Amino acid sequence: MRSARAVAAFDLLTPATAEEALSALRSAAPGALAVLAGGTDLLFDLDDGRLASRTVLSLRRLPWRTLAWDGAALTIGSTLPLRTLENDPGVRTRLPGLYAAVRAVGSVALRHRATLGGNLGRSAPASDLIPILLALDAEVELVGPEGARTVLVDRFVQGSRKTALRPDELIRAVRIPEARPSAYLLQRVRPFHDISHMAVAVAYSPRRESWRVALAGFPPRPILVPEAGELLRGPRPSSAEVVRAAETAAQLAPIVADKRASEEYRRALVKPLLERAVRACASSGGAT
């Protein structure tokens, strides 16, 4: 059980522009600055002594709490609170999988602080947001001293606490190229308290006429299972296709045990979760 001691004192920098924030990062010694968005992960790290840094660079004043639709594409500022994302009517109706995934994160109170940038920055194996971003083919916009660059979420996320982010870069936004039918389902013991033992995200692209299937909940990171997506055809796959895709995902995915669940239990969860997710997606009506 976590002790009730207070987080140790730290210096706080609160830049108002991206240039100021990047300049502070650039002039700090390696590991001397900890970047803070909502703080729901980072403050635990500081408390646990996991971070050597005693200077915190807060992103809260940056103009990145944005949400912008451009036709079928959605760009989400990295510091937008998840609760604001959840309350966008377009997200609920046009990206039902993203809506379900956001609502799976902790409690309403937590989502008032937690951000998408922080979820990607932490890159947890049981993240609820990374699998749906994988299924939606999302990309991460990074800014650094040399300007901006874009990385697919599948390349950005490399393992627990491991990402493609360079020490002098920040996550500015996440771009979802196309609103599309999608679904997210997870298995956990207690809502609000526990993270998933297994989670499945699926999305169907009407433009590409293809499915993407992602799994999460086990180390080292959420993954795509392309072989499963390729077995599904059209917006409403047949029952036989759904069963074959679910069996293929359960067999081929590199699922492992950890202290929270056995490999056998996790593999057994894939089939029912994936079958339900594909059916939910096929009838979700998420539209471009």
215 binds ligand FAD (CB under 6 A): no
114 binds ligand FAD (CB under 6 A): yes
Q: How do 67-70 and 73-77 pair as beta strands?
A: antiparallel
260 binds ligand FAD (CB under 6 A): no
Non-local CB neighbours of 186 within 8 Å, separated by 6+ positions: 104, 128, 196, 198, 199, 200, 217, 273
Non-local CB neighbours of 112 within 8 Å, separated by 6+ positions: 81, 83
Of residues 59 and 242, the one with the C-beta less far from ligand FAD = 59
* Amino acid at residue number 200: V
36 binds ligand FAD (CB under 6 A): yes
The stretch among 35-43, 213-221, 248-256, 267-275 that binds ligand FAD (CB under 6 A) is 35-43
Of residues 130 and 224, the one with the C-beta less far from ligand FAD = 130
Return the closest-CA partner of residue 138 out of 180, 103, 169, 93: 180
Asked, as a colleague might, if the bond just before 220 is cis with ω within 30 of 0, I would say yes
- Coil/strand/helix, residue 224: strand
Binding residue count for ligand FAD, defined by CB under 6 A: 30
Non-local CB neighbours of 104 within 8 Å, separated by 6+ positions: 128, 184, 186, 196, 199
53 binds ligand FAD (CB under 6 A): no
Specify whether the CB–CB gap between 118 and 41 falls below 8 A. Answer: yes
Of residues 40 and 248, the one with the C-beta less far from ligand FAD = 40
Of residues 42 and 274, the one with the C-beta less far from ligand FAD = 42
Structure tokens belonging to residue 154: 């599948």
117 binds ligand FAD (CB under 6 A): yes
CB of 115 to ligand FAD, least distance (A): 3
38 binds ligand FAD (CB under 6 A): yes
121 binds ligand FAD (CB under 6 A): yes
42 binds ligand FAD (CB under 6 A): yes
Binding residues for ligand FAD, rule: CB under 6 A, are 34-42, 59, 78, 104-106, 110, 113-115, 117-119, 121-122, 127-129, 165, 170-171, 195
